[in-house]
Structure 1
Amino acid sequence: MAVQAADLSVSPVQLAEADRTAQQGIPVADLSPNAPSQYTVRSGDTLWGISGQYLRQPWRWPQLWGMNRQQVHNPHLIYPGQILYLVQRDGRAYLSTNPPGGASGDVRLSPRIRGNGGDGEAIQSIASSDIEPFLIRPLVVDQGTVDTSARIVALPDARVYMGRGDMAYARGIAPADASLGSDWQAFRPASPVLDPVTGRVIGFEAAYEGSVRVTRGPEGPNAVTTVQATQSLQEIGPGSLLLPQPQRELIRYVPHAPDGEVEGRVAAVYGGVRYGGAKQIVVLNIGANAGLEPGHVLALSSDGGHVADPTDGNRAIELPDDRYGLAYVYRVFPGVAYALVTDASNVMKVGDIASTPR
Structure 2
Amino acid sequence: MLKRLLAVTAAMLLTIATAAVAAELAGGHPTTYTVKKGDTLWDIAGRFLKKPWLWPEIWQANPQVKNPHLIYPGDVLSLVYIDGKPVVQAEGPRIGEAVDTIPLAEIEPFLKQFTVLDDVKSLPHVVGLEEDRLRSAAGQLVYVRGLQGARPGQLVDLARPINVFGGGKGKRIPGFSRLDERGDRGHGHWSTPMGFGEATGETLGHELQLHASGEVTRVQGDVAVVLLRDEGREIRVGDRVLAPEAQPYDLQFMPRAPDSIPDNARILAVADGMGAGPRYVVALSVGARDGIRNGHTFSVWSEGALRPDTTAHRNAMAARGDRVQMPDDFLGHLMVFRTFDKVSYALVMDGIRPITQGDVLKHPDASE
Q: TM over 0.5: same fold?
A: yes
- What is the Cα-based RMSD across aligned positions, in Å? 2.7
Amino acid at match of 1:331: R
Q: Give the gaps of 5 or more residues in structure 1.
A: 1-22, 99-111
Matched, 1:40 2:41: no
Cα distance in 2 for residues equivalent to 1:312 and 1:31 = 46
| Count of residue pairs the alignment pairs up | 310
1:349 corresponds in structure 2 to 356
Q: Any residues of structure 2 matched to 1:274-313 within 5 Å, and which?
A: 274-309=274-309, 313=313
Contact 2:276/2:348 (<8 A) preserved: no
1:316 corresponds in structure 2 to 323
Q: Any residues of structure 2 matched to 1:178-189 within 5 Å, and which?
A: 180=153, 182-187=155-160, 189=161
Matched, 1:329 2:336: yes
Distance apart, 1:159 and its partner CA: 2.2
Cα distance in 2 for residues equivalent to 1:83 and 1:296 = 26
1:262/1:55 Cα in 2 relative to 1: closer, same or farther (>3 Å)?
farther
Q: Which entry has the higher C-alpha Rg, 1 or 2?
A: 2
Distance apart, 1:326 and its partner CA: 1.0
Q: Give the gaps of 5 or more residues in structure 2.
A: 1-16, 175-195, 199-203, 314-318
2:167 corresponds in structure 1 to 195
Distance apart, 1:45 and its partner CA: 0.8
1:213 corresponds in structure 2 to 214
Cα distance in 2 for residues equivalent to 1:274 and 1:193 = 17
After TM superposition, the score normalised by the length of structure 2 is: 0.76
Cα distance in 2 for residues equivalent to 1:252 and 1:76 = 9
Distance apart, 1:25 and its partner CA: 10
1:123 corresponds in structure 2 to 99
Cα distance in 2 for residues equivalent to 1:192 and 1:89 = 50
Cα distance in 2 for residues equivalent to 1:280 and 1:36 = 29
Q: Any residues of structure 2 matched to 1:258-277 within 5 Å, and which?
A: 258-263=258-263, 264-271=265-272, 273-277=273-277
Q: Percent identity?
A: 32
1:75/1:300 Cα in 2 relative to 1: closer, same or farther (>3 Å)?
farther
Cα distance in 2 for residues equivalent to 1:96 and 1:203 = 41
Deviation per residue, 1:67-121 (Å, 9 max, x gap):
353x2443320110000011247763221126xxxxxxxxxxxxx783x55xxx1
Amino acid at match of 2:102: I
1:86 corresponds in structure 2 to 79
After TM superposition, the score normalised by the length of structure 1 is: 0.78
Per mean C-alpha deviation after superposition, the further-off stretch among 222-231 and 280-289 is 222-231
1:251/1:26 Cα in 2 relative to 1: closer, same or farther (>3 Å)?
farther
1:134 corresponds in structure 2 to 110
Cα distance in 2 for residues equivalent to 1:288 and 1:76 = 22
Deviation per residue, 1:273-323 (Å, 9 max, x gap):
142211111111111121101111111111122223456555322222212
Following superposition, which runs of at least 4 residues in structure 1 exceed 6 angstroms of deviation?
Answer: 23-26
Secondary structure at the counterpart of residue 260 of structure 2: coil
